[in-house]
Structure 1
Amino acid sequence: MSTLQITGEEKMEVFTRGHRSNTFKRGSAEHTYLDYLERVARGEKGAIITFKDRSGAEAMRLALAFAYFPIGHSYLENGAPNDYRCAHCEAGHPPKKLWRRINKIPLVFACATHAALFEGRTLEDFDQSGEHTLTEGRFAGMRTSMIGYYVPAIPTEDGNYWPHNHTPDSALLWWQNLPNHS
């Protein structure tokens, strides 16, 4: 079994970004990584680290692959990108939750009202986190943030958008805390 080596430089990089305390969601890649660094800093040896049903060096490699630490001390602390608005009603300033058509280039953003309209859906139980209950198909009864083929449009800090289902917790939380447009 190989041991994962974390250099002092890597430790300093994380801690100088303002993550001196581990406030990430327990079980997240970020929490796992910082928990490991905190244990190493305390001189603990042989601490068992687990992530996604894996342990040890394999868990850490996986956590490092998925961990995302915001560029600033908080995700998109300077606000949403300037073009973050519904293409159909200009909703978006101040920022509101937006969706984008999955795998569609160029990106065209839609508020919940327009995404539902284009997909022939109703959002009767749409909640503040941007989720609603599916009413048809084999996934009926499940909660989702998708509206038909529209997925949450969650910007990255470098001007792109996160792929659906590969969004770090900090980015998803940023989006969920935006107001809904109705």
Structure 2
Amino acid sequence: MFDVVIRGGTVVDGTGRPGVPADVAIADGRIAAVGDLAEGEAAQVVNADGLVVCPGFVDPHTHYDAQLFWDPVASPSNLHGVTSVVMGNCGFTLAPLGDASDAAYLGAMMVQVEGMSPAALELGVDWQWRSFADYLGRLDGNVGVNVAAMVGHCALRRAVMKDDAVTREATDDELAEMQRLLGEALAAGGLGFSTTRSFTHTDGNGV
């Protein structure tokens, strides 16, 4: 007895092989069988006739860092079969924060570069965190997709250098502090470090 059987679909397994007509059975949250399961009993049967059944897609380049707070299913990606997202790309993340001024700065940057609504950021994000671990903790258990979060250069640099982040090179001590914060973020679950060299990627003041 299966929990769910998806019947009549074309299974595309992601290996590059052509799709094949097959049923997919699920038990205890895992795929239990794939094939002709016409005789298999299930608590729920899903008719997939004329549809493709495949693993969820991974979107490796997103900027859902803020949106997940008011849209935990990452629309519209979820409507296109995406079940896992990598966010924090291009050096843009919402953590770590040194103080409240960093939240305002990073929010304005998201408006400038990603075209996010200032009202959505103001109403949907409370910025009640400082470390990258705190930020991830706010998302943990509250999102409907799998999330991997990069640690952004912009947030690290702003947290350490404040307004000087866009006017001069970092000192050795400042670089060491950025490295320390990055190490903390990676230890807390950050996927990696992201940055950018695009001249179109600026802060809220266009710098």
Q: TM-score, normalised by structure 2?
A: 0.28
Q: Looking at CA atoms only, which structure, 1 or 2, has the larger radius of gyration?
A: 2
Q: TM-score, normalised by structure 1?
A: 0.31
| Larger helix share, 1 or 2 | 2
| Larger strand share, 1 or 2 | 2
